[in-house]
C-alpha cells in the first residue's frame, strides 16, 4: 500500500499497490506501537469499521511526533470498499499538554494523599459540587455518592453540624472572600476525625455568591498532638502549683511567660504584673551583678543557669534562694524557652553560717585550751620555784644555829628570819588555795595604809644571807616623799620579796642589786578603780631571757597578783612593770 502526504494535514491516500503495507509502516512507526497499529488497521480493513488511533510517527529529522489518525472506507453501490480515505493530524503539542496535565494531576493526587487533603469546587448558583478522588477517600465516602453541599453537611458530626452550616452561610451573606474553619466528621471506619476547610469565595457583579473553591485537610493528628500537649501542660501546671518552689518559664529573651501561684504570693504581685516584671528589682543589690553575669554566661553558652542569690519578699525581707533554669531547644537547636525554679534555702544558709561560727569557736576553744595547758605547766613550774624559795633562808639560818657560833643577838635575828620565811611559806600555800577563790571572784584584799620602806626592808632581811653567800651588794635609794600607800601589806611584801629573791638568784657572783623607791606618776582612774588593764600584764608570765642562757624569771606571786588585781580592776601601769623580773 502506498500513501501520500498532503499538507497542511498529513493525508494518507491508500491504494492497492500489490506490495506489503507493513514494510512502509514499519519505517515511520515507533517500534513500540507498530504491531498494535498494524493489528488495528487489519481489523478495520477486515470489518470495514471506521479507523481512528493515535501513535507517534518519525519525521525526516528522525524525531517522533504524535498524530491522530482517522480513516473511513469509500464504497461502491454494492457496499464494497473501494479505498480508504483518512487523515493524520499532528497532536504533539496537545499530547504534551495532556501529559503535563496528567503529571500535574498525579502530583496533586500524591500531594493530597500525603497531606491528607481533598479538593472541592462548589457552583453556588447551580448547586453542583465537585469532589476530588482524595476527597472521597478522606471522608470515607462511596465513589458513587453524589457530590453536594447537603451530602457534605451530612458527614459532619452532629454536635458540629449546625455551627458548620451557620459558618458557611454567614460567610456568604457577609461576602467574605476567604473562609477557614474546623469541624469534625464521623468516618465510617476511623470514627471521629478532625478537618480544616480552607476556601476562596467568589461573587458576581451584583455581590451574589457564585462559586467557592477549597480544600479539606484531615488535621486529626495535629488535634491529637494539641490535646496531648494541652494535657501535658495541664499536668505540668498542676505539678507546678503543688510544689513549694517558685516556678517560672521565660522565652528565649528571658521575658516571663508563666509563673506559679507561689511566685505571686512570695512577691506580692499578680500573674499579670509578673509577666512584664523586671526581676532585677527584687534581687538583693549585693547579689545583682553576679546574678546578671551568670545569666548572660548561661544565655551565651546555651547551658543551664545555676546560682544563689537573695530575693525580696512581699514584706521587704530578703531570703536566700538557689535559682536553676534549663534551656528548652527546638529541632534546630535554638533556645525557645527557659524553664526555671527558685528554691528557698534561707534556713540552710543560716545553719551554714552558724556551723561556721561554731567551728571557729571550737577552734578558738581548742587554742585556748592549748594556751591554758601551757600556762598550767608554767604555773606548776612557778609553784615549785616559789615553794622552794622560802626554804633557802630557813635552811641557811638553821645550819648557823646548829653550829652554836651565833651570839644572842644573831640567834634572835636568825629565829626571826626563820619564822618570817615559815610564815611566808604558809602564805604561799594559802595563796595557792586563794587561786580557786580568785577564779570564783571571792578573794578580798586587806587594803590599808602601808609603809613601803618597811615592807622593802623586811624583804631585804629575808634575802640577805643569800646575797652574802654570792658576795652581792644591795644598794637602796628611798624617796622620803613616797609616804604611805593603800594596799594589802602581806601581798605587797610577798611581791617585793619575790623580786629581790629573783634579783639575787640571777645576779652573777660579786654583783650588785639596786633597790629604788620613788613616785613615778600618780594616776586616778575614778572611784573604785585605779586604771585600765595595761597590755603588758598578760605577758608577765612568759619566760624572760636576758641572756643566751634561758632562765625562768617569773613568780607565783605575779600570777596571784594578776588574778587578784584583774578581778578587782586594781592594776599597775605598764611603766611601773617594765623592769619587773
Can you tell me the distance from the alpha carbon of 205 to that of 195, in angstroms, rounded to the nearest whole number? 32
Q: What confidence tier does 16 reach under pLDDT thresholds 50, 70, 90?
A: very low
- Cis status of the peptide bond prior to 8, with omega within 30 of 0: yes
102-116, 192-206, 244-258, 300-314: least confident range? 102-116
Confirm if 131 and 123 have CB atoms less than 8 A apart: no
Residue 560 has pLDDT above 60, yes or no: no
Can you tell me the distance from the alpha carbon of 225 to that of 57, in angstroms, rounded to the nearest whole number? 57
What is the reported pLDDT for 287? Answer: 94
What is the reported pLDDT for 124? Answer: 92
pLDDT tens by residue, 370-411:
887 887 777 777 777 777 778 888 888 888 888 888 888 888
Q: Which of 173, 171, 192, 193 is nearest to 181 (CA)?
A: 171
Q: Which of 231, 228, 196 is nearest to 214 (CA)?
A: 196
| Three-class SS state of 369 | helix
16-30, 196-210, 260-274, 287-301: least confident range? 16-30
Residue ranges of the domains in the chain? 10-90, 98-224, 243-344, 390-577
Residue with cell 495532556: 98
Q: How much is the average pLDDT of 543-569?
A: 44
The CATH number given to 10-90 is 3.30.450.20
Q: Which of 486, 481, 545, 549 is nearest to 517 (CA)?
A: 481
The string of DSSP codes covering 439-452 is HTT------EEEEH
What is the reported pLDDT for 236? Answer: 74
The CATH number given to 243-344 is 3.30.450.20
Spatial neighbors of 132 by CB under 8 A, at least 6 apart, are 109, 112, 118, 119, 120
Confirm if 97 and 19 have CB atoms less than 8 A apart: no
Can you tell me the distance from the alpha carbon of 534 to that of 540, in angstroms, rounded to the nearest whole number? 11
| Three-class SS state of 392 | helix
- Taking the alpha carbons at both ends of the chain, their separation in whole angstroms is 155
Per-range mean pLDDT, top range of 304-308, 499-503, 521-525: 304-308
What is the reported pLDDT for 442? Answer: 62
What is the reported pLDDT for 500? Answer: 87
What is the reported pLDDT for 9? Answer: 37
| Three-class SS state of 203 | strand
Spatial neighbors of 25 by CB under 8 A, at least 6 apart, are 34, 37, 38, 41
Topology agreement, domain 98-224 and domain 390-577: no
Confirm if 410 and 452 have CB atoms less than 8 A apart: no
Q: How much is the average pLDDT of 211-221?
A: 91
Residue 25 has pLDDT above 70, yes or no: no
Confirm if 322 and 345 have CB atoms less than 8 A apart: yes
Provide the edge-to-edge strand list for the sheet that holds 256-259.
Answer: 256-259, 246-251, 335-344, 318-329, 305-312
The string of DSSP codes covering 211-260 is EEEEEEEE-HHHHHHHHHHHHHHHHHHHHHHHSSSEEEEEETTS-EEEE-
Residue 418 has pLDDT above 60, yes or no: yes
Can you tell me the distance from the alpha carbon of 4 to that of 283, in angstroms, rounded to the nearest whole number? 100
- Residue ranges in 332-446 assigned as alpha helix (H): 346-388, 391-403, 408-439
Q: What confidence tier does 321 reach under pLDDT thresholds 50, 70, 90?
A: very high
**In terms of CATH architecture, what is 390-577?**
2-Layer Sandwich (3.30)
Spatial neighbors of 493 by CB under 8 A, at least 6 apart, are 455, 458, 459
pLDDT tens by residue, 125-149:
999 999 988 899 899 999 999 999 9
Distance set, CA 425 to CA 384, 389, 489, 494, 499 (Å): 12, 9, 16, 10, 16
Can you tell me the distance from the alpha carbon of 160 to that of 104, in angstroms, rounded to the nearest whole number? 35
The CATH number given to 98-224 is 3.30.450.20
Confirm if 444 and 489 have CB atoms less than 8 A apart: no
Q: What share of the chain is helix, strand, coil (3-state, %, to 5)?
A: 45, 25, 30
Amino acid at each position: 500500500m502506498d500513501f501520500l502526504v498532503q499538507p497542511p494535514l498529513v493525508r494518507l491516500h491508500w491504494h492497492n499497490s500489490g506490495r506489503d503495507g507493513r514494510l512502509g509502516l514499519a519505517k515511520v512507526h515507533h517500534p513500540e506501537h507498530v504491531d498494535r497499529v498494524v493489528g488495528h488497521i487489519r481489523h478495520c480493513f477486515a470489518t470495514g469499521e471506521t479507523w481512528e488511533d493515535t501513535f507517534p510517527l518519525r519525521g525526516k529529522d528522525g524525531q517522533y511526533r504524535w498524530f491522530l489518525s482517522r480513516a473511513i472506507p469509500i464504497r461502491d453501490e454494492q457496499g464494497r470498499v473501494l479505498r480508504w480515505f483518512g487523515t493524520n493530524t499532528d497532536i504533539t503539542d496537545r499530547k504534551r499538554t495532556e501529559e503535563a496535565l496528567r503529571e500535574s494531576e498525579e502530583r496533586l493526587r500524591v500531594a493530597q494523599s500525603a497531606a491528607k487533603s481533598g479538593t472541592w469546587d462548589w457552583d453556588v448558583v447551580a448547586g453542583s459540587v465537585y469532589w476530588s478522588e482524595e476527597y472521597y477517600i478522606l471522608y470515607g465516602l462511596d465513589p458513587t455518592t453524589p457530590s453536594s453541599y447537603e451530602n457534605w453537611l451530612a458527614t459532619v458530626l452532629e454536635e458540629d453540624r449546625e455551627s458548620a452550616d451557620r459558618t458557611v452561610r454567614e460567610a456568604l451573606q457577609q461576602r467574605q472572600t476567604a473562609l477557614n474553619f474546623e469541624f469534625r466528621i464521623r468516618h465510617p471506619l476511623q470514627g471521629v476525625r478532625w478537618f480544616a476547610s480552607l476556601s476562596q469565595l467568589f461573587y458576581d457583579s451584583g455581590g451574589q455568591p457564585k462559586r467557592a473553591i477549597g480544600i479539606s485537610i484531615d488535621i486529626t493528628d495535629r488535634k491529637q498532638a494539641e490535646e496531648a500537649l494541652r494535657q501535658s501542660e495541664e499536668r505540668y501546671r498542676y505539678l507546678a502549683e503543688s510544689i513549694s518552689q517558685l516556678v517560672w518559664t521565660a522565652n528565649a529573651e528571658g521575658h516571663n511567660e508563666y509563673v506559679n501561684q507561689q511566685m505571686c504570693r512570695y512577691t506580692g504581685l499578680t500573674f499579670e504584673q509578673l509577666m512584664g516584671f523586671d526581676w532585677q528589682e527584687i534581687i538583693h543589690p549585693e547579689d545583682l551583678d553576679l546574678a546578671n553575669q551568670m545569666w548572660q554566661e548561661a544565655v551565651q553558652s546555651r547551658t543551664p543557669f545555676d546560682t544563689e542569690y537573695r530575693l525580696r519578699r512581699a514584706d521587704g525581707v530578703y531570703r536566700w534562694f538557689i535559682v536553676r533554669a534549663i534551656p528548652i531547644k527546638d529541632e534546630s537547636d535554638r533556645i525557645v524557652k527557659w524553664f526555671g525554679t527558685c528554691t528557698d534555702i534561707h534556713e540552710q544558709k543560716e545553719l551554714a553560717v552558724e556551723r561556721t561560727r561554731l567551728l571557729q569557736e571550737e577552734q578558738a576553744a581548742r587554742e585556748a585550751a592549748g594556751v591554758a595547758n601551757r600556762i598550767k605547766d608554767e604555773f606548776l613550774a612557778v609553784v615549785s620555784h616559789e615553794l622552794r624559795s622560802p626554804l633557802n633562808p630557813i635552811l641557811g639560818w638553821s645550819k648557823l644555829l646548829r653550829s652554836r657560833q651565833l651570839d644572842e643577838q644573831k640567834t634572835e635575828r636568825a629565829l626571826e628570819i626563820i619564822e618570817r620565811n615559815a610564815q611566808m611559806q604558809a602564805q604561799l600555800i594559802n595563796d595557792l588555795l586563794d587561786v580557786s577563790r580568785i577564779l570564783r571572784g571571792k578573794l578580798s584584799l586587806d587594803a590599808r595604809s602601808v609603809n613601803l620602806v618597811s615592807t622593802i626592808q623586811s624583804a631585804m632581811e629575808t634575802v640577805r644571807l643569800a646575797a652574802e653567800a654570792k658576795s652581792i651588794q644591795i644598794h637602796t635609794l628611798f624617796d622620803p616623799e613616797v609616804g604611805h600607800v593603800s594596799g594589802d601589806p602581806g601581798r605587797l611584801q610577798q611581791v617585793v620579796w619575790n623580786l629581790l629573791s629573783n634579783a639575787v638568784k640571777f645576779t652573777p657572783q660579786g654583783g650588785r642589786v639596786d633597790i629604788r623607791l620613788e613616785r613615778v606618776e600618780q594616776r586616778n582612774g575614778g572611784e573604785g578603780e585605779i586604771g585600765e588593764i595595761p597590755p603588758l600584764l598578760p605577758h608577765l608570765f612568759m619566760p624572760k631571757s636576758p641572756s643566751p642562757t634561758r632562765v625562768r624569771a617569773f613568780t607565783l606571786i605575779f600570777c596571784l597578783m594578776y588574778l587578784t588585781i584583774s578581778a578587782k580592776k586594781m592594776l599597775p601601769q605598764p611603766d611601773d612593770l617594765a623592769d619587773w623580773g
